[in-house]
Structure 1
Amino acid sequence: MKKSLVFITFFIFFLLTACKESKISLGHNVYFNKEENIHYGNNPDQVMDLYIPDKKLIGEREVFIIIHGGGWRGGNKSQLTFFTLSMMQRFPDHIFMNMNYRLASATQYGIPNQTDDITKVTEFLKERLSYSPKLILLGNSAGGHLSMLYGYYFHADKEVKAVINIVGPADLSDTGFKNYEEYSFVEKHLVDPKILPTATSPVNFASPIHWITSASASTLSYYGTTDRVVPLSQKKILDSILSKNNVIHESYEFKGGHLDWDKRPNNTFLIDKIETFLKHIDKK
């Protein structure tokens, strides 16, 4: 209990002083250099926060790319700042990038803009680091969906080491997901029709499971038992397709709804599982 209070006190202090400090301490000799609101494109939404370990290490560091949720047309990277800091404590040798992306609207499609934005930040990283880092895509809700879609289709190569999908829809044609109150927006405005392959519907194109192959990135998923936005049926569908293609994967359930994954003890359980999962991949 005492440790938890110290941890919470630190984060309150961090959030109050974040705009003034260029280096942050997470305790236990863990230091990161941070840069906030870096522009990686000309659109006001194309900004990101970058955290690079202050500790010098030999070799190339892996990168967590953090992608927020919000129904593809809302949300902000600030929603995942606290979770990103918690992850940094557990992974002090990794680089973290917490990104905003161009939001969808009735006049602007989400895809390929949003997946293109992920490409832009990876290109920024390559230039900044002078090497091509291994990527771990981590997102919640729409961010989980984009992490899967990007990892399985738009950037399906060996640079994507793993996908951490938190309450992200994997099959947009799932009957349970069709109860989503903004489903008509998903059908009409998520995908630009100009990029659709012949005889492929927008819903199928935007469904990550449609693009899973035996070469797809290892995937860890986390779903709520009472989620009314992205139902638990999504977990079963995703697990089934990953298993059929012999993709390394794990999935877990937490008690709660769509936003409860980031509450204790669900968030600490998730970080524990992410750490174990990535160690498991490294041994393969």
Structure 2
Amino acid sequence: MRSYVRLAILCTTLMLAACGKDESTGSIPQTNNNVVATSLLNVAYGTDAAQKMDIYLPANRNTASTKTIVLIHGGAWSSGDKADFNSFVDTLKRRLPTYAIANINYRLAAAPATNTFPTQEQDVKAAFDFIASKSNEFIISNKTVALGASAGAHLALLQSYKYNSNNNIKAVVDLFGPTDMTAMYNDPASPLAPSSSIALLLNGTPASNATLYNSSSPINFVTSSTIPTIIFHGGSSDFLVKTSQSTALRDKLVQNNITVQYTIYPNEGHGWTGSNLIDTFNKIESFLTQYVQ
């Protein structure tokens, strides 16, 4: 499924702080230490060319308290790039200056049968595992936050709910992500998100491949120990992901007594700019400050 609408992100004019850069190696430059802000670009976390991430390490970091926000771009699992979130990086560095930020790419699906699901889920897990394995080298803690938009939010939720047995992920930010893949197939938002595209991604229909549909739906992994979740969605003009995907997750979290904050912008679609985007960042900053310790 092609992504016809992308998350619109707030452009900032902030200049990046002076920092060391090291392309692809994932190693801290020898002239730097934890006092210096450092950017590591296109760091490989796997052997495929798409398995790369940009890592932004803050100054004065330490292995006890420096947390990491992992950004996962959208694009219907078949398009998009970590560059889509570059403005998010600038804004988050300003609002949450003590956090490290990892902005990741992953292998993209292509019709009819290239990198079908769960390839993307596996890549996100590998990226989180890589970050954890590098915590001492990067001088960061194992505490993370997952933040994704659209398909990226779906992947962030899966990682946070399905693979968090060590409780390293402390909160998840869901920007209009799919939460129930069976409902995505049975009740598509519009012709821009046809059931046939979901069937290609998941190698069949809910009837023919029920196991994969169930295991690919974050809502099925909500338990009484699920982490705090903040959800944002547009209104009826979101033609890719129905609002019901977010309200169903909210209700499941409430039923399990999980901390959840849900914001709907009724006049917005699949992404937004301006005052509502500022409101989104305000709420994210407040939520993480309160629930990620």
TM-score, with length taken from structure 1:
0.81
Per-residue CA deviation, residues 235-268 of structure 1 (Å, 9 max, x unaligned), is: 22111111111111111012311032xx111221
- Counterpart amino acid of residue 274 in structure 2: R
- 2:65 is equivalent to residue 65 of structure 1: no
Structure 1 segments, 4+ long, off by >6 Å, are: none
SS of aligned partner of 2:50 = coil
Per-residue CA deviation, residues 197-251 of structure 1 (Å, 9 max, x unaligned), is: x984433322111111111121100000121111212222111111111111111
- Counterpart amino acid of residue 202 in structure 2: L
User: How far does residue 85 in structure 1 lie from its aligned partner after superposition?
Assistant: 1.3
SS of aligned partner of 2:278 = helix
SS of aligned partner of 1:72 = coil
- Counterpart amino acid of residue 228 in structure 1: F
5 Å matches for 1:170-189? 170-174=179-183, 175-177=186-188, 179=190, 180-189=192-201
SS of aligned partner of 1:251 = strand
Q: 1:59 to 1:81 in 2, by over 3 A?
A: same
CA RMSD, 1 decimal: 3.0
Q: 1:178 to 1:278 in 2, by over 3 A?
A: same
SS of aligned partner of 1:108 = coil
- Counterpart amino acid of residue 196 in structure 2: S
User: How far does residue 156 in structure 1 lie from its aligned partner after superposition?
Assistant: 4.4
Per-residue CA deviation, residues 123-173 of structure 1 (Å, 9 max, x unaligned), is: 322232227611100000000000111111133441111110001011223
CA distance in 2, matches of 1:58, 1:21: 19
Alpha-carbon contact 2:189-2:240 (below 8 Å) kept: no
- 2:148 is equivalent to residue 143 of structure 1: no
- 2:161 is equivalent to residue 152 of structure 1: yes
- Counterpart amino acid of residue 222 in structure 1: F
CA distance in 2, matches of 1:133, 1:235: 28
CA distance in 2, matches of 1:178, 1:224: 12
- Counterpart amino acid of residue 208 in structure 1: P
Counterpart for residue 52 of structure 1:
57
2:230 to 220, 224, 227: 220
- 2:257 is equivalent to residue 252 of structure 1: no
Q: Which has the higher helix share?
A: 1
Q: 1:22 to 1:117 in 2, by over 3 A?
A: same
5 Å matches for 1:20-59? 22=21, 32-57=37-62, 59=64
Give identity over the alignment, percent: 28
SS of aligned partner of 1:265 = helix
Q: 1:102 to 1:192 in 2, by over 3 A?
A: farther
SS of aligned partner of 2:40 = strand
Counterpart for residue 253 of structure 2:
242
CA distance in 2, matches of 1:69, 1:137: 13
Q: 1:9 to 1:178 in 2, by over 3 A?
A: closer
Alpha-carbon contact 2:161-2:218 (below 8 Å) kept: yes
Counterpart for residue 32 of structure 2:
none
Alpha-carbon contact 1:111-1:192 (below 8 Å) kept: no
Length, aligned pairs only: 261
Where in structure 2 are there 5+ consecutive unaligned residues? 1-10, 23-35
CA distance in 1, matches of 2:200, 2:154: 17
User: How far does residue 279 in structure 1 lie from its aligned partner after superposition?
Assistant: 2.7
SS of aligned partner of 2:181 = coil
- 2:124 is equivalent to residue 118 of structure 1: yes
- 2:104 is equivalent to residue 99 of structure 1: yes
Answer with 122-131 or 80-89: which moved more. 122-131
Counterpart for residue 277 of structure 1:
287
User: How far does residue 84 in structure 1 lie from its aligned partner after superposition?
Assistant: 1.8
CA distance in 2, matches of 1:233, 1:37: 36
Alpha-carbon contact 1:176-1:233 (below 8 Å) kept: no
CA distance in 2, matches of 1:256, 1:161: 28
